[in-house]
Structure 1
Amino acid sequence: MATYAKIINGLTDLGIHKMPEYLDTYIELVSKGEKSFSVALEELIEIEQKNNQIRAENACVKTAAFPFLKTMDDFEFDFQLGINKKELLELNRMGFLDKKENILFVGSSGVGKTHLATAIGITCARSRVSTYFVSFESLITQLKKALMENRLESRLKFFAKYKLLIIDEIGYMPIDQDSAYLFFQLIAKRYERNSTIITTNTPFSKWGEIFGSPTLANAVLDRLFHHSQIVSIKGPSYRLREKRAFFESQAEE
């Protein structure tokens, strides 16, 4: 028993977490002659490697700061018939990353833009691609704060370094021209280096109103459009459907 305890403690000290859970089972299989020692050891190593992979994937997903965990499998394509499912599944295969392409989701509130952006992001994060999710409002707040504290360059580098940056909800609030220029600086840093996913409820023709400057808006869009795939979603709102279902259930009661 002392030897067994020493083995367990040794595995733990080496950072081997999953193998001890299966050790008793494999010891019994070997003692009964149902598995050779080498086969048992090989399978235990595979168990540990798979566990390490899952832990690494989960760590990448956690670091990405997604607002929720929803994948492409969770999306109701049957409800949002205006979406090309084949196109979305192809985007979810991550080929756009190698091409340094951007994905721009545009559509009214509640049609599933954030869900789809997050789903693609989760696929990338689980594939160990450096990914980060941030709302447009939070992004601008962070950049303005960094500017005031004389650390803008380091904050721009933070957001620019990710192979995939997801910026959610552009258009829900107008920004001043100083903020617009900060955003332009970030997009310029990422241009043709890494991929960006944007969600917006505002047609691109009206981005000049968001940024307070048609010139800055065009400069941002020029860089986003150059290598991009635009997904325009025209359909019903999931949120309104849920509210309608809630009120109908209340009425029935």
Structure 2
Amino acid sequence: MVLDPHRWLELRRFRPLFESGAMSLRDIAKETGLNRRTVSKYLQGGASAAPPQRTVDGQRYRRVVDEVAPLIDAMLRAEVLLKASVIHERLVHEYAVSINYQRVKIYLQEARPRIAEELGISPGELAGLHRRFEVVPGAQAQVDWGDEGKILAHVGIPKVYSFHMTLSYSRDPFCCFTTSQDLATFFDCHRQAFVHFGGVPMSIVYDRTKTVVRRHVAPGEAVPLHPEAVAFAGHYDFDPDVLAAYRPTGKGRVERQVLIVRDHVLAGRAFSSVEELNAAFAAWVPLRRAKVHGTHGEVIGHRAARDHAALRPLPETPYVVAQRHLRHVGKDCLVAFDANLYSVPARKVRPRQLVEVRATKSQITLHDPVGQTLLAAHARAVGRGARVVDEMHWDGLPTGAGRRVTTGDAVAPPRRNQPLGPDAGPLQALLNRAAAAHIEVGRRPLSVYDELTGTRPFASPSKDAR
């Protein structure tokens, strides 16, 4: 077998490690994807002193990866930082290509800089240090938001966010995509995550987001939690664990998961709805659970089974989190909330009356804050500037159907140059615009007024007087 020149150059990088004893022939063969005899031939024999020869016809030795190189290049042009593991995963599962992962990895070493130069991009990486900790099954989950930007701007959705919850023991992921980060949406995503995992962890780690923390305090002081967060945690029987200030690495598992989902699910793809985004994640989860995690060294799905078995059971009834706000009723029986208008019954309210708005992710209910009676319920509007009106709420209000209109019996104004009647007084003549346009107005020079008042006319000073 004649080794490809590119592979020969790659193999030479392992010579110092082999000679120092840091890597064995088996390790190098596993890393490069080559046969151990081939590695031994070029690292121990004389063949390694010179590059391998080309084929008889003078053409370059064709590699297996060359057959899918255009496809890999297209993926890199869509996302130049796409990881080798992601590309290999898509080649195998989406294009049914049988290729060794190391061949893809080696090809990317020369393809990525070339594509980046074509696109004018300089990719870089940032590494940090942190202390690692482990937990028992079912003990902890971590939550974080991801900002996916304008991924759906082409269909009129200006902003998309990704909600992530990761079980700390197994690294089993959950993700759903939303268009809002408000309180109702935040905890609705929690309910979806609990159903996805089949239970509730004993504690959930958060950063100091306003949907969990009522207000920010100095380091070392007790953190006051949002009342709805306390009620939600009590209903599902878990402990909220808020990170200390300036501790971004306290939930590194979920922050890493945000990047993994972005790379494996979103990178280099186009979507037309939030539902397509959620379906893409659901289709990727089995692939993720089949992976061997690099930290705990087990298949994520096998470890997740132990994690799920240790979770607390879900309550019989879900807890629906609602935002509560006071708003005034307008004269048109509409209440403004979140840049949209919702109707209330005209017979039950008065102008400028205060009503309580209770907003969930999918519903808006309007209540009398005094008697706590329900006034109206509407589906929550999507976007801004919508009017959600129940026509029955306007029963009893004037419709304008009984307004009087003229039928041509009114006296028309006199035409131009038509004299007014003898009974028309001077005031009526002035009020008649057509007639007033032809009233003769006397004109006289301004000097007449100067003579009457005894004042001298205004004159600009001469040049000599300046």
TM over 0.5: no
Q: Which has the larger radius of gyration?
A: 2
TM-score in terms of structure 2 length:
0.20
- The structure with higher relative contact order (CA 8 Å, sep 6+) is 1
Question: Which structure's residues are more often helix, by fraction?
Answer: 1
